[in-house]
């Protein structure tokens, strides 16, 4: 493996560059004075100023965050329980369930959105923030469950058996053996669910009611008027805040040691 | 009992299947908020479009019959091609990255994963616009190429199929990296070392050791990338200059422009069937490749 | 693993209170202000929102206005048709108003409550889709035509045929709107843009297939950027958007081709399911106030339907043919109408065009 390291590292670096290139461009252009053309027309902070005052955009961002957090928690809770619940089932039933869990992910989003909207109208549930969250859990739950199941299936059964042999009951085995082993999968699932929810457009579009506009909806409807660099400023801020938190946590950890 | 593939996490759980009840809330949720709505749309696909775009509830198979027109077959194959290409590229780019992260010191892994995910907490549309800035006729990439003298005149990068693939790959790369990471993290490095000690070439180690052992992750990643790519419509519109129609564009067109919900539903169901078939194939392939090494 | 936890918690801690705080001032939790401050829900195009104007109305009437936006008429209809309630005032385009009236989605407006709606531009006073102005009040209007760079095109074009000129291959953009694109071709063929004749539509499709190799992109939104940056020299588009691009590239001009083009008008309507009908009418009246309308016109470069507003805008707007088309161009314009089941013909032709 050491032999591979250099080539692998180089490719990985290039891929990271590929990932961050557009982000850097976004941040760069948030300082561009030009409203329309992409040519550089002078450096300015006016888009950041406009952002602070754009109540609608900020409200949409807030909505997006609230929806993402709540639906991620809901999906992780339900999905995690689902994954564990499946453990005790027969192999064939597990396969059946896992196969059918793929279905919500396979559906074209627009169809899912329309389906949910028709359903909510049928049961006379008024569209709003709640219906969006309900819809988001529908596509996040399978994601979470599948990611946890992938890890769960490959778990070495010898470990929990050993714990049981040492006198641990089901709860303690879970808490001290299974759960720590599953943690990367769970965090991975949370990350994916949160990201998917933040960026979702179609399902949100059909299930959102008055006052429930999210960031993707707002940006998409701004297309007609041309996406202003305000969006760049917002994206730059989101990225920088997140990075700041990561850096801060690293500092804290270092201090602990 | 230990070698049995259905060995459960805790012995007590398997015997009584008390844990099965944990799955109930999730099942109820999906049944209520997924299966029922899906049934509604299925019913709609057998209805017809009213004069002003409403739904007329009279049974008809006309929508599905209409889809037999070769035009729609062309759209489908077009989309399948893009999706497969995107999946392949995501794998080629994502695997080295996932491998590197999984082999990094444990302290760094979460941070690196977060760094991979961070760009995707910005808005998808905005990232697509960023690619437009990069790929345009007078965009950054052309600027660099021309000023370095690598090309005489700016390249037409935007509004091309290449741009669409770049956009799709960029949009779904993390969905490949994360499952791959989870799978590689589980891979025992000693196995890889052992293979090298047995004088296996890098390629052999990759194909005969690493890939089979991480197959569930590979399959998961491929599925998570393939499905949204085949249904995407914003990327082909913005980066492809709306010069062609992918099946996602068709569905969106039927629902939101033509307001022909019955036809849109029919197309959606056909797409769903095709994707399910592809997914089943992926999983079968995965099981087949993972087989011999799995059964310890 | 501690890093994980901390990062997540910190990011959440940082973003969540921000989110909750903002959502508090964004939506106005219903009932929190309750009786003291009624809430008006305004559903409109994204670029029609002007925070200062909204704030002024909120101040005057002591209410809260919540704005939701959409980017196409069909989205608006999809939402309303499915039974979504809670919106008070919406801004559909002309043909969509006709559909909404037919579907019974609109509330008749009391002309007494909207005095500003009585001083409209003459050609907007008897709209084909709402002859007595019972359901809608025209708000902004304009044309669809061709934006071009006068530095590149030595002679000013006056016909749709310019978009088929091989000389400008790869420097032309068309709207990504099947009705508008077909409308342009049909007019250039001397036909109505609302034709449902299969042969005519087929012929139109053939002409568009010939044009496709010359077209750089089909876009309904960023052709102003493409014009401004010089990437295209001919763009099929809405006048107001081309007018906005003129600020970045003064050599841009706009023309309504002699064969005719689309006349459009976005109208303010009150929804039948509106919770705040009286307030909604007050809001419509406010938006049609000459000063307010002129302000909107100035910013968006779309002509206001309010006749007094024309005198209040700057000459740059009033004399710009992209905003206020000259009278002789007005007569060649046609309203776009919904073609009912005929849309299937356009759908199929459009799909075939795209798949070529």
**How does DSSP assign C52-90, residue by residue?**
HHHHHHHHHHT-EEEEEEESSHHHHHHHHHTT-----EE
Tokens of B157: 């990068």
The string of pLDDT tens digits covering residues B158-191 is 888 999 999 999 989 988 998 899 889 888 888 8
Q: How far is B249 from chain A (nearest CA, A)?
A: 10
Q: Are C166 and C222 in contact (CB under 8 A)?
A: no
Between CA C46 and CA A191 the distance in angstroms is 31
CA nearest neighbour of B245 among B169, B131, B164, B156: B164
The string of pLDDT tens digits covering residues A146-201 is 888 877 877 777 887 888 888 877 777 777 788 888 887 888 788 778 888 888 88
Residue the block writes with tokens 């007494």: C112
Asked whether the predicted pLDDT for residue A225 surpasses 70, the reply is no
CA nearest neighbour of A206 among A142, A144, A139: A139
Between CA C111 and CA C180 the distance in angstroms is 33
Asked whether the predicted pLDDT for residue B295 surpasses 50, the reply is no
B49 sits in which H/E element: strand B48-49
Burial C252-283 (b: 16+ CB within 10 A, else e): bbbbbbebbbbbbbbbbbbbbbbbbbebbbbb
Flag whether B211 is in a domain: yes
Does any CB of chain A come closer than 8 Å to the CB of residue B174? yes
Flag whether A230 is in a domain: no
What spatial distance separates the first Cα and last Cα of chain A, rounded to whole Å? 29
The string of pLDDT tens digits covering residues C237-293 is 999 999 988 988 999 999 999 999 999 999 999 999 899 999 999 999 999 999 999
Tokens of A42: 């002078």
Q: Inter-axis angle of helices A109-122 and B247-256, to 10 degrees?
A: 30
Tokens of B101: 């992260």
Tokens of B6: 């259905």
The whole-number pLDDT of residue C16 equals 52
Tokens of C20: 């909750």
Flag whether A148 is in a domain: yes
Long-range contacts of C119-124 (CB under 8 A, 24+ apart): C119/C306, C119/C307, C119/C308, C120/C305, C120/C306, C120/C307, C121/C303, C121/C305, C121/C306, C121/C307, C121/C310, C122/C307, C123/C263, C123/C330, C124/C265, C124/C305
What is the CATH classification number for the domain harbouring A154?
A: 1.10.3720.10
- For the segment A217-229, the average pLDDT, to the nearest whole number, is 70
Q: With pLDDT > 70 as the criterion, what percentage of chain C qualifies?
A: 89
Between CA C238 and CA C254 the distance in angstroms is 9
In this structure, the answer to whether residues C283 and C329 fall within a common structural domain is: no
In this structure, the answer to whether residues C236 and C272 fall within a common structural domain is: no
The whole-number pLDDT of residue A252 equals 64
Q: What length does chain B have?
A: 296
Count of domains for chain A: 1
The string of pLDDT tens digits covering residues B15-69 is 457 777 888 888 899 999 999 999 988 998 998 887 777 778 888 888 899 899 9
Q: Are A253 and C3 in contact (CB under 8 A)?
A: yes
- For the segment C194-209, the average pLDDT, to the nearest whole number, is 95
Contact B249 C77 (CB under 8 A): no
Flag whether B275 is in a domain: yes
Beta partners for residue C234, in sequence order: C148, C172
The string of pLDDT tens digits covering residues A81-108 is 888 888 778 888 888 888 788 788 877 7
The string of pLDDT tens digits covering residues A230-246 is 777 877 887 787 777 76
In this structure, the answer to whether residues C133 and C229 fall within a common structural domain is: no
Beta partners for residue C143, in sequence order: C263
Residue the block writes with tokens 């970045």: C248
Instruction: Work out the pLDDT band at C198, boundaries 50, 70, 90.
Output: very high
Between CA B286 and CA C157 the distance in angstroms is 61
Residue of A nearest to B195 (CA): A1
Does any CB of chain A come closer than 8 Å to the CB of residue C82? yes
Model confidence, pTM: 0.81
Q: Are C305 and C139 in contact (CB under 8 A)?
A: yes
Q: How far is C2 from chain B (nearest CA, A)?
A: 8
Flag whether C25 is in a domain: no
Contact C245 A54 (CB under 8 A): no
Between CA A219 and CA A210 the distance in angstroms is 16
Burial B126-153 (b: 16+ CB within 10 A, else e): bbbbbbbbbbbbebbbbeebeeeeeeee
Q: Are B169 and B93 in contact (CB under 8 A)?
A: yes
- Chains sharing 3 or more CB pairs under 8 A with chain A: B, C
Task: Select the more confidently predicted residue: C224 or C70.
Answer: C224
**Three-state DSSP state, C97:** helix
Contact B52 C340 (CB under 8 A): yes
In this structure, the answer to whether residues C173 and C301 fall within a common structural domain is: no
Between CA A171 and CA A160 the distance in angstroms is 11
Residue C251: which residues within 8 A CB-CB, separation 6 or more?
C149, C150, C151
What are the C-alpha distances in Å from A244 to residues A237, A238, A249, B111, B118?
Answer: 10, 10, 9, 12, 11
Instruction: Work out the pLDDT band at C11, boundaries 50, 70, 90.
Output: low
| Domain residue limits at C103 | 30-141+264-318
In this structure, the answer to whether residues C219 and C347 fall within a common structural domain is: yes
Q: Are C74 and C177 in contact (CB under 8 A)?
A: no
Instruction: Work out the pLDDT band at C28, boundaries 50, 70, 90.
Output: very low
HEC sequence for C231-248: CCCEEEEEHHHHHHHHCC
Tokens of C98: 């006709």
What is the CATH classification number for the domain harbouring C136?
A: 3.40.190.10
Asked whether the predicted pLDDT for residue C25 surpasses 70, the reply is no
The whole-number pLDDT of residue B275 equals 84
Beta partners for residue C106, in sequence order: C271
Asked whether the predicted pLDDT for residue C356 surpasses 80, the reply is yes
Between CA B4 and CA A136 the distance in angstroms is 37
For A24, other C-beta atoms within 10 Å of its C-beta total 15
Residue C131: which residues within 8 A CB-CB, separation 6 or more?
none
Does any CB of chain C come closer than 8 Å to the CB of residue B249? yes
The string of pLDDT tens digits covering residues C57-69 is 999 999 999 888 8
The string of pLDDT tens digits covering residues C137-175 is 999 999 999 999 999 998 999 999 999 999 999 999 999
What are the C-alpha distances in Å from B113 to residues A236, A246, B117, C15, C232?
Answer: 19, 11, 6, 20, 41
Interface of C with A in 3-32 (CB under 8 A): 3-4, 6-8, 10-12, 14-16, 18-23, 25-28
- For the segment C323-334, the average pLDDT, to the nearest whole number, is 87
Between CA B263 and CA C348 the distance in angstroms is 12
Query: At C32, phi and psi to the nearest 5?
Result: -65, -45
Q: How far is C68 from chain B (nearest CA, A)?
A: 18
| Domain residue limits at B84 | 69-294
Tokens of A59: 């409200």
* Chain C residues within an 8 Å CB radius of B258: 343-344, 347
Q: How far is C311 from chain B (nearest CA, A)?
A: 37
The whole-number pLDDT of residue C29 equals 39
Between CA C240 and CA B101 the distance in angstroms is 51
Q: Are C43 and C87 in contact (CB under 8 A)?
A: yes
Query: At C221, phi and psi to the nearest 5?
Result: -125, -40
The string of pLDDT tens digits covering residues B73-108 is 999 999 999 999 999 999 999 999 999 999 888 888
Count of domains for chain C: 2
In this structure, the answer to whether residues C275 and C342 fall within a common structural domain is: no
Instruction: Work out the pLDDT band at A38, boundaries 50, 70, 90.
Output: low
CA nearest neighbour of A204 among A8, A106, A67: A67
Rg (chain A; Cα; Å): 23
Count of domains for chain B: 1
Indicate the average pLDDT of chain A.
Answer: 81
Tokens of A215: 């960031």
Eight-state DSSP code of residue C162: G
What is the CATH classification number for the domain harbouring B249?
A: 1.10.3720.10
Does any CB of chain A come closer than 8 Å to the CB of residue B7? yes
Asked whether the predicted pLDDT for residue B296 surpasses 90, the reply is no
Residue the block writes with tokens 């599953």: A182
Flag whether A174 is in a domain: yes
Contact B272 A111 (CB under 8 A): yes
What's the maximum distance between 2 C-alpha atoms anywhere in chain A?
72
Flag whether C230 is in a domain: yes
Check if the interface score ipTM surpasses 0.85: no
Does any CB of chain C come closer than 8 Å to the CB of residue B130? no
Query: At C4, phi and psi to the nearest 5?
Result: -45, -60
Between CA A4 and CA B210 the distance in angstroms is 13
The string of pLDDT tens digits covering residues A106-146 is 777 878 888 898 888 778 787 888 899 999 999 999 989 98
Q: Are A50 and A230 in contact (CB under 8 A)?
A: yes
The whole-number pLDDT of residue C278 equals 92
Does any CB of chain B come closer than 8 Å to the CB of residue A19? yes
Q: Are B182 and A143 in contact (CB under 8 A)?
A: no
Residue of B nearest to A193 (CA): B175
CA nearest neighbour of A32 among A47, A51, A22, A20: A47
The whole-number pLDDT of residue A9 equals 85
Interface of A with B in 157-186 (CB under 8 A): 157-158, 160-161, 164, 169-170, 173-174, 178, 184-185
Does any CB of chain B come closer than 8 Å to the CB of residue A9? yes
What sign does the CA torsion over B1, B4, B6, B7 have? positive
| Domain residue limits at A158 | 55-223
Flag whether C137 is in a domain: yes
Q: Are A47 and C14 in contact (CB under 8 A)?
A: no
Indicate the average pLDDT of chain C.
Answer: 86
Eight-state DSSP code of residue C104: T
CA nearest neighbour of A147 among A76, A51, A235: A76
Contact C15 A55 (CB under 8 A): no
In this structure, the answer to whether residues C189 and C135 fall within a common structural domain is: no
* Chain A residues within an 8 Å CB radius of C225: 36-38, 226
For C94, other C-beta atoms within 10 Å of its C-beta total 25
Between CA B244 and CA B241 the distance in angstroms is 8
The string of pLDDT tens digits covering residues C107-128 is 999 888 889 888 898 888 888 8
Q: Inter-axis angle of helices C2-27 and A179-199, to 10 degrees?
A: 30
């Amino acid at each position: 493996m050491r032999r591979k390291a250099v080539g692998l590292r180089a490719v990985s670096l290039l891929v990271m560059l590929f990932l961050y290139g557009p982000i850097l461009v976004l941040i760069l252009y948030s300082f561009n004075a030009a409203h329309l053309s992409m040519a550089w027309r002078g450096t300015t902070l006016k888009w950041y100023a406009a952002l602070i005052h754009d109540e609608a955009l900020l409200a949409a961002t807030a909505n997006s965050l609230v929806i993402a957090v709540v639906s991620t928690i809901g999906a992780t809770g339900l999905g995690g329980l689902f994954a564990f619940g499946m453990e005790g089932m027969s192999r064939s039933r597990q396969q059946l369930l896992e196969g059918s869990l793929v279905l919500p992910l396979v559906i074209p989003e627009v169809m899912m959105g329309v389906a949910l909207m028709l359903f909510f109208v049928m049961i006379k549930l008024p569209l709003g923030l709640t219906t969006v969250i309900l819809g988001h859990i529908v596509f996040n739950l399978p994601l979470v469950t599948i990611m946890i199941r992938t890890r769960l299936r490959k778990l070495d059964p010898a470990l929990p058996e050993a714990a049981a042999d040492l006198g641990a009951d089901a709860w303690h085995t879970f808490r001290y053996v299974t759960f720590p082993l599953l943690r990367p999968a769970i965090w991975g699932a949370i990350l994916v669910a949160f990201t998917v929810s933040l960026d979702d457009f179609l399902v949100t579009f059909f299930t959102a009611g008055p006052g429930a506009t999210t960031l993707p909806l707002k940006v998409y409807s701004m297309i007609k008027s041309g996406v202003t660099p305000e969006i760049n400023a917002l994206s730059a801020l989101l990225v920088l805040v997140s990075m700041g938190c990561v850096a801060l946590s690293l500092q804290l950890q270092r201090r602990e040691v | 009992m230990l070698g049995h593939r259905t060995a459960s996490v805790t012995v007590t759980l398997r015997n009584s299947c008390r844990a099965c009840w944990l799955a109930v809330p999730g099942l109820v949720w999906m049944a209520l908020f997924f299966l029922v709505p899906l049934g509604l749309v299925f019913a709609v696909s057998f209805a017809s479009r009213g004069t002003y775009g409403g739904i007329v509830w009279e049974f008809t198979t006309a929508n599905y019959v209409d889809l037999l027109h070769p035009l729609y077959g062309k759209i489908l194959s077009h989309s399948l091609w893009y999706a497969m290409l995107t999946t392949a590229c995501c794998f080629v780019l994502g695997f080295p990255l996932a491998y590197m992260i999984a082999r990094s010191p444990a302290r760094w892994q979460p941070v690196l994963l977060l760094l991979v995910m961070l760009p995707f907490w910005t808005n998808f549309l905005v990232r697509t616009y960023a690619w437009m800035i990069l790929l345009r006729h007078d965009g950054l990439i052309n600027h660099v190429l021309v000023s370095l003298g690598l090309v005489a005149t700016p390249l037409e990068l935007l509004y091309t199929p290449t741009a669409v693939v770049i956009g799709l790959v960029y949009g779904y790369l993390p969905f490949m990296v994360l499952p791959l990471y989870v799978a590689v993290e589980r891979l025992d490095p000693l196995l890889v070392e052992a293979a090298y000690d047995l004088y296996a070439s890098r390629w052999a180690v990759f194909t005969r050791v690493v890939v089979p052992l991480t197959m569930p992750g590979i399959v998961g990643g491929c599925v998570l990338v393939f499905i949204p790519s085949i249904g995407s419509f914003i990327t082909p519109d913005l980066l492809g200059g709306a010069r062609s129609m992918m099946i996602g564009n068709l569905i969106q067109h039927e629902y939101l422009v033509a307001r022909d919900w019955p036809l849109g539903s029919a197309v959606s169901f056909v797409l769903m069937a095709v994707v399910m078939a592809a997914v089943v194939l992926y999983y079968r392939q995965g099981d087949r490749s993972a087989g011999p090494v799995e059964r310890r | 693993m501690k890093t994980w936890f901390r990062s997540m918690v910190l990011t959440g801690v940082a973003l969540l209170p921000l989110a909750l705080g903002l959502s508090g001032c964004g939506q106005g939790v219903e009932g929190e202000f309750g009786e003291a401050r009624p809430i008006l829900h305004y559903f409109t195009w994204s670029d029609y929102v002007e925070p200062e104007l909204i704030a002024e109305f909120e101040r005057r009437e002591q209410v809260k206005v919540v704005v939701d936006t959409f980017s196409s008429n069909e989205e608006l209809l999809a939402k309303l048709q499915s039974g979504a309630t809670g919106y008070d005032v919406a801004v559909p385009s002309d043909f969509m108003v006709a559909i909404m009236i037919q579907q019974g989605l609109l509330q008749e407006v009391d002309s007494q409550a909207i005095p500003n709606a009585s001083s409209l531009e003459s050609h907007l006073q008897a709209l084909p889709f709402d002859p007595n102005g019972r359901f809608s009040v025209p708000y902004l209007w304009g044309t669809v035509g061709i934006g071009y760079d006068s530095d590149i095109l030595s002679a000013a074009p006056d016909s749709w045929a310019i978009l088929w000129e091989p000389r400008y291959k790869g420097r032309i953009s068309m709207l990504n709107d099947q009705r508008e694109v077909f409308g342009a071709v049909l007019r250039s063929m001397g036909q109505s843009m609302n034709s449902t004749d299969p042969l005519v539509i087929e012929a139109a499709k053939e002409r568009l297939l010939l044009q496709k190799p010359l077209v750089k992109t089909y876009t309904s939104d960023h052709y102003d950027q493409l014009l401004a940056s010089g990437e295209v020299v001919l763009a099929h588009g809405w006048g107001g958007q081309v007018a906005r691009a003129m600020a970045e590239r003064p050599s841009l001009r706009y023309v309504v081709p002699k064969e005719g083009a689309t006349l459009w008008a976005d109208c303010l309507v009150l929804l039948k399911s509106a919770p705040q009908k009286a307030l909604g009418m007050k809001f419509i009246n406010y938006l049609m106030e000459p000063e307010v309308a002129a302000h909107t016109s100035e910013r968006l470069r779309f002509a206001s339907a309010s006749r007094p507003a024309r005198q209040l805008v700057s000459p740059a707007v009033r004399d710009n043919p992209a905003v206020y088309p000259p009278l002789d161009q007005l007569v060649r314009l046609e309203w776009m109408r919904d073609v009912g089941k005929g849309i299937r013909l356009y759908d199929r032709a459009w799909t075939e065009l795209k798949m070529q």
